[in-house]
Amino acid sequence: MNYTLHQLQIFLKIAELQSITKASEELHLTQPAVSIQLKNFQDQFPIPLTEVVGRRLFITDFGTEIAQAAQRILEQVQEIDHRTVAYQGKLSGRLKLSVVSTGKYVMPYFLSDFIKEHDGIELIMDVTNKTKVVRSLEENEVDFALVSVLPDKLSVSGVELMPNKLFYVSNYHRELPKKVSKKYLFEKIPLIYREPGSATRNAMEYFISQNRYSVTKKLELTSNEAVKQAVIAGLGCSIMPLIGIKNALKSNELKIVPVQGLPITTTWNLIWLKSKNLSPVALALLEYLEQEKDGIIQKKFGWVNGF
């Protein structure tokens, strides 16, 4: 057999996504190129790896076993690469993080120079909602998680990074009464929510319940970016993290509406399981953050203090 590592990577991605189209998009390859590599890989086996039923691609039982073997092979290849780099005196290895969706505006700035300094590190960062972030941490799938609200049922250690402030925001051109009441803001204007499981939604619902507002019109969207665009378009208002709306505020697409009791302020925390044996790469990141985080906050997020 003459299959290549490239073919193993492609087949593994097809098996993971159950789709040639999705695999080609994630691998940044054309669909014909992925199809050709799959055919060349299949030609080396007398048993089908995939089957098409009703225009849907399925992985056969044999294909699933080959995918599992491919995963092990590729992990061993990565280990060889990391050991080679480490033998040359460089820090190397894989760093896996799970980040709540608004954290995509925060975490890259705390990683950028660290990754540039250690080019032997392979970074994998999943951006999702809080429920999935906590689950990935609980199941030991990641080294670190970035959250703005600490999980209740996990024993974790953490590093505080910076404050997270949530404000009531509207379209810049929305006309509001000169003396706008909370009742008007929450009961007369459609309120746009994140999906269940989002920390932003949880904070927003807690604030509303504590103040006993009765929200009569609501929309639900699945990302902070979608909520922002909906507010800009005038579909309603929302309570949003300041960190994700800086440009929209500067360009007069959004405005902050002063509301007593707001902003809601939490803290971005990089957390890990207390029981986890952190890798040299993970430990190096914590050391880097201890030394550099204050400078990063001042340089990249100093504007937050103005709100």
What's the CATH number where 231 sits?
Answer: 3.40.190.10
Please give the tally of structural domains in the chain. Answer: 3
Q: Is residue 279 part of a domain?
A: yes
Q: Is residue 69 part of a domain?
A: yes
Residues 18 and 143 both lie in one domain: no
Count CB atoms within 10 A of the CB of residue 112. 12
Query: Using one digit for the tens of pLDDT, what is the confidence trace for 120-132?
Result: 898 999 998 889 9
**Whether pTM exceeds 0.85:** no
Residues 103 and 153 both lie in one domain: yes
* Sequential DSSP letters for 16-41: HHT-HHHHHHHHT--HHHHHHHHHHH
Residues 167 and 252 both lie in one domain: yes
Range of the domain at 289: 90-162+267-302
Q: Which three-class secondary structure state does DSSP give residue 269?
A: strand
User: Quick one: pLDDT at residue 76?
Assistant: 83
Q: What is the pLDDT along the chain (307 residues), one digit of tens a residue?
A: 788 989 999 999 999 999 999 999 888 899 999 999 999 999 999 999 999 988 889 999 999 999 999 988 888 887 777 677 665 566 778 899 999 989 999 999 999 999 999 888 989 999 988 899 999 999 999 999 999 989 988 999 999 999 999 999 999 999 988 888 888 898 889 999 999 888 899 999 999 888 888 887 789 998 889 999 999 999 999 999 999 999 999 999 999 999 988 999 999 999 999 999 898 899 999 999 999 999 999 999 988 877 7
Q: Is residue 248 part of a domain?
A: yes
The residue out of 81, 100, 119 marking a domain boundary is 81
Rounded Cα gap, residues 53 and 60, in angstroms: 11
Q: Is 46 exposed, middle or buried (0-12, 13-18, 19+ CB in 10 A)?
A: exposed
Give residue 252's region: left, alpha or beta (phi > 0; psi -120 to 50): left
User: Quick one: pLDDT at residue 85?
Assistant: 60
Residues 233 and 260 both lie in one domain: yes
User: Quick one: pLDDT at residue 36?
Assistant: 93
Q: Is residue 307 part of a domain?
A: no
Dihedral in degrees, nearest 10, Cα atoms 135, 138, 139, 144: 90
Rounded Cα gap, residues 191 and 201, in angstroms: 11
Number of alpha carbons in the 13 Å side-chain half-sphere of residue 123:
16
Task: Give the CATH number, domain containing residue 56.
Answer: 1.10.10.10
Q: Is 13 exposed, middle or buried (0-12, 13-18, 19+ CB in 10 A)?
A: buried
Residues 157 and 295 both lie in one domain: yes
- Contact indicator for 245, 228 with CB cutoff of 8 Å: yes
The residue out of 81, 112, 135 marking a domain boundary is 81
